[in-house]
């Protein structure tokens, strides 16, 4: 379809009408049929017929820490979309889990932006490999549901960019994203869909985004402002209200035909990039999906009770074994015909299992409980919690489920808890268990995957992509839902970045997860210099189970001004029973750069590269000094302390600045004393920007010499 030709043939009235949806989930009806056909969402293709498969929810997919797996699942969703005639999937959701109570955590990846961006990128590549479009959402800072239509995220620019926008940026850098969906909330006082800073300055001008921008459903306040400030299309259909406003804006010259054409061109070009072949009969490999699901479960605790043996006498407790919660609520919640039940699936693996649905355990005596080798209790959050539109109010499982665990443990210590929830929960009861298996919301085939894991057919290999705190009051954004203005006062100290920096104990840390395998990681090396390193290690699986291990690489920073640890890479590798593998990863400049005052800069100073199996379990680390390269551009605002960290800047800076500093510090521009030897003078001078010292120089440094100095530094 030639966009230019089409636009030439359309009247302005028709064009204006195309800037709003055609109905709830379609748009761009140029002729008979709308050309863009959308569906939610992250864990399945939401259609009216209800014959889609429900996929492991994003929280579970994230626990895989497995890029390949996310690509494969994206591919499967692409197949589902094609099967249902959907050409734009409203997924993934790359918002950061700022607080474990946030309603949509189940459809988000992580508290960490790097793992979010890395996995979402592969997921999108997978969807796109089937020639279906993807839409990342919700741009930006949609980190809670409470008051989401009017809530204002008040956030400083460094935190915004380094934490909350990073995954968007990574994905947009890594592939051709088709659509970005704006969020309901405001950021720094401006509605996201009307936010010129987010939509034009950052998204288009800085990141060079070429795809389209769509509003979240019915989120628009002023449609003309939204379109002027970077939105391309409003969803869903709002023709009656929108068209007159758009016509007026066009007639008054506020909205030009050229602007309208640019927006429609993006939509037409999207349509040109996807498949129109309706003859599609590819099937999903459900066995593979079931395996992926089980592998992503996180074994939080295992005191030798798992896996089960088929000749062990087992009692299964809890109605959620029969009626599982497979997904969170809201738009992501899809209709599905396929829902496996753990009761059926376990019975396929053993003849020695019995089931009681009732958490009250009516009619079951102490000696009955004692008679089982193991007791598997299924715990699940209520169907109402973990949903779009509202947040949870606490971290607990329903009390009767916890009571059941405690009651059973009194008579039989071999309690295994199987958890279904969408985000971190209170696990203080785990002392009454011998094993805890986190399965999150595992989708249509989840119960099959649970049975496979319980009986050792699949090794749980997931890692927590979010911290499980000891208490909700430990969470840095504890008071997140307190009013309309939500102050992101904890800044970049979100999740493990906070707990590790402030030494706050957690129940289970970010990145943590056990396995049936016994992995040995040795020969760890970190080679390189400057801003280029290679991390390598050998991993041996000393067990009879095949499995995966995720080794994490953090940037360590002891400066107190930044999080003590930040994930910069992870390596997830499959290792067969008895196998030994060598792994390596490159760490380059992008891992050592961060935004400061709106500009991406290379870090300078002393850091560590940490190799770990969780944010709290380090296995190796190496001190590095990042000072060989430039952190330009240097300006009048650059701190003298920053310059002094880099040898070659130091020389230049001293040449110009020394006289001024000497004059200021010792009253004598030719003094042979060194101001750096005096703690007060050193700290005082280091804390000043270049312009500051000029004021103290009594005319030794003029505007001209400062310009000269800055030029020389930037050319160094
Ligand atoms: C949600 C979006 C979703 C859209 C369409 C909104 O309420 O926030 O994530 O894609 O509805 O269902």
pLDDT digits (tens, 9 = 90+) for 310-326: 999 999 999 999 999 99
The residue whose CA has the least distance to atom 3 of ligand 1 is: 331
What are the tens digits of pLDDT across the range 374-417? Answer: 999 999 999 999 999 999 999 999 999 999 999 999 999 999 99
Cα distances from 595 to residues 159, 513, 568, 598, in angstroms, run: 9, 31, 15, 6
Residue 624's nearest CA partner among 607, 602, 647 is 607
177 CA from centroid of ligand 1 (Å): 18
40 lines ligand 1 (CB under 6 A): yes
137 lines ligand 1 (CB under 6 A): yes
Residue 146's nearest CA partner among 479, 397, 474 is 479
552 CA from centroid of ligand 1 (Å): 33
Choice from 27, 40, 89 to test ligand 1 binding pocket (greatest atom count within 8 A of CB): 40
Count CB neighbours of 591 within 10 A.
21
What are the tens digits of pLDDT across the range 193-216? Answer: 999 999 999 999 999 999 999 999
What are the tens digits of pLDDT across the range 528-547? Answer: 988 999 999 999 999 999 99
pLDDT band of residue 601 (cuts 50, 70, 90) is confident
Residue 120 main-chain phi, psi, to 5 deg: -65, -35
The residue whose CA has the least distance to atom 6 of ligand 1 is: 217
Asked if 217 and 235 touch (Cβ cutoff 8 Å), the reply is: yes
Residue 436's nearest CA partner among 301, 339, 279, 539 is 301
39 CA from centroid of ligand 1 (Å): 9
519 CA from centroid of ligand 1 (Å): 42
Residue 297's nearest CA partner among 402, 415, 432, 436 is 436
Helix (H) or strand (E) segment spanning residue 683: helix 679-686
pLDDT band of residue 713 (cuts 50, 70, 90) is confident
445 lines ligand 1 (CB under 6 A): no
Above 80 in pLDDT, residue 485? yes
Residue 404's nearest CA partner among 433, 425, 371 is 433
Asked if 160 and 168 touch (Cβ cutoff 8 Å), the reply is: no
Looking at ligand 1, which atom is closest to the CA of residue 184? Answer: 8
Count CB neighbours of 9 within 10 A.
9
37 CA from centroid of ligand 1 (Å): 14
Burial class (CB in 10 A: 0-12, 13-18, 19+), 174: middle
216 lines ligand 1 (CB under 6 A): yes
Choice from 217, 234, 328 to test ligand 1 binding pocket (greatest atom count within 8 A of CB): 217
331 CA from centroid of ligand 1 (Å): 6
- Alpha helical stretches, state H, 205-256: 223-228, 239-251
pLDDT band of residue 41 (cuts 50, 70, 90) is confident
What are the tens digits of pLDDT across the range 647-692? Answer: 788 888 877 777 788 888 888 888 888 888 889 988 988 898 888 8
90 lines ligand 1 (CB under 6 A): yes
Choice from 331, 334, 389, 390 to test ligand 1 binding pocket (greatest atom count within 8 A of CB): 331
pLDDT band of residue 140 (cuts 50, 70, 90) is very high
| CA angle, 694 then 699 then 702, to 5° | 65
Helix (H) or strand (E) segment spanning residue 380: strand 374-380
Strand partners, 617: 614
| Helix, strand or coil, per DSSP, at residue 57 | coil
Strand partners, 181: 214
Q: Tell me the pTM.
A: 0.92
Residue 491, both tokens: 């800044």
34 lines ligand 1 (CB under 6 A): no
94 lines ligand 1 (CB under 6 A): no
15 CA from centroid of ligand 1 (Å): 25
Q: Which residues are catalytic?
A: 216
């Amino acid at each position: 379809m030639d966009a230019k030709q089409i636009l030439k043939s359309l009247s302005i009235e028709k064009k204006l009408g195309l800037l709003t949806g055609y109905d709830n989930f379609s748009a761009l009806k140029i002729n008979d049929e709308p050309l863009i056909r959308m569906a939610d969402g992250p864990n399945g293709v939401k259609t009216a017929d209800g014959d889609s498969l429900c996929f492991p929810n994003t929280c579970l997919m994230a626990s895989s820490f497995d890029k390949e797996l996310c690509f494969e699942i994206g591919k499967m969703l692409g197949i589902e979309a094609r099967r249902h005639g959907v050409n734009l999937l409203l997924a993934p959701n790359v918002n950061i889990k700022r607080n474990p109570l946030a309603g949509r955590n189940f459809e988000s990846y992580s508290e960490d932006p790097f793992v979010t961006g890395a996995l979402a990128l592969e997921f999108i590549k997978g969807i796109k490999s089937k020639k279906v479009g993807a839409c990342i959402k919700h741009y930006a800072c949609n980190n809670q549901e409470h008051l989401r239509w009017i809530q204002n995220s008040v956030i400083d620019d460094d935190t915004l960019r380094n934490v909350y926008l990073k995954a968007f940026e990574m994905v947009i850098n890594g592939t051709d994203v088709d659509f970005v969906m704006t969020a309901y909330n405001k950021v720094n006082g401006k509605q996201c869909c009307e936010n010129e800073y987010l939509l034009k300055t950052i998204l288009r001008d800085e990141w060079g985004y070429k795809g389209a921008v769509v509003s979240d459903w019915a989120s628009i306040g002023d449609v003309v402002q939204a379109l002027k400030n970077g939105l391309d299309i409003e969803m869903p259909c709002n023709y009656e209200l929108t068209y007159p406003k758009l016509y007026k804006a066009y007639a008054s010259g506020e909205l030009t035909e050229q602007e309208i054409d640019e927006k429609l061109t993006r939509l037409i070009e999207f349509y040109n990039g996807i498949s129109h072949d309706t003859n599609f009969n590819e099937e999903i490999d459900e066995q593979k999906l079931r395996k992926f699901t089980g592998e992503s479960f996180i074994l939080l605790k295992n005191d030798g009770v798992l896996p089960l043996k088929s000749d062990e006498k087992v009692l299964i407790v809890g109605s959620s074994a029969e009626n599982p919660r497979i997904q969170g609520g809201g738009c992501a919640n899809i209709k599905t015909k396929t829902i496996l039940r753990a009761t059926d699936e376990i019975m396929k693996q053993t003849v020695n299992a019995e089931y009681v649905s009732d958490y009250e355990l009516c009619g079951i005596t102490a000696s009955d409980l004692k008679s089982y080798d193991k007791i598997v209790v299924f715990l699940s959050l209520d169907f109402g919690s973990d949903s779009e539109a509202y947040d949870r109010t606490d971290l607990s499982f329903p009390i009767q489920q916890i009571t059941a665990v405690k009651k059973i443990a009194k008579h039989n210590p071999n309690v295994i808890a199987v958890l279904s929830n969408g985000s971190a929960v209170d696990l203080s009861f785990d002392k009454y268990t011998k094993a805890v298996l986190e399965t999150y919301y595992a989708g249509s085939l989840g119960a099959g995957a649970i049975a496979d894991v319980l009986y050792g057919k699949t090794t749980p290999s997931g890692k927590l992509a979010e911290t499980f705190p000891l208490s909700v009051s430990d969470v840095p954004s504890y008071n997140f839902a307190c009013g309309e203005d939500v102050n992101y006062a904890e800044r970049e100290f979100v999740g493990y970045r906070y707990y590790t920096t402030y030494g706050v104990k957690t129940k289970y840390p970010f990145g943590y997860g056990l396995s049936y395998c016994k992995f040995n990681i040795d020969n760890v090396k970190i080679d390189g210099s400057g801003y280029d390193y290679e991390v390598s290690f050998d991993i041996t699986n000393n067990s009879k189970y095949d499995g995966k291990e995720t080794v994490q690489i953090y940037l360590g920073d002891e400066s107190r001004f930044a999080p003590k640890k930040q994930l910069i890479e992870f390596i997830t590798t499959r290792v067969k029973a008895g196998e030994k593998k060598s792994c390596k990863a490159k760490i380059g400049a992008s891992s050592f750069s961060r935004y400061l005052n709106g500009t991406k800069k290379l870090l300078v100073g002393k850091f560590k590269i940490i190799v770990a199996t969780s944010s709290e379990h380090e296995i190796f680390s190496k001190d590095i000094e990042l000072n060989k390269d430039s952190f330009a551009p240097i300006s009048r605002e650059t701190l003298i302390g920053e310059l002094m960290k880099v040898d070659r800047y130091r020389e230049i800076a001293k040449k110009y600045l020394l006289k001024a500093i000497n004059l200021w510090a010792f009253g004598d521009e030719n003094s042979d004393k060194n101001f750096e030897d005096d703690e007060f003078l050193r700290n005082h001078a280091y804390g000043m920007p270049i312009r500051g010292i000029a004021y103290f120089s009594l005319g030794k440094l003029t505007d001209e010499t400062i310009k000269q100095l800055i030029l020389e530094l930037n050319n160094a």
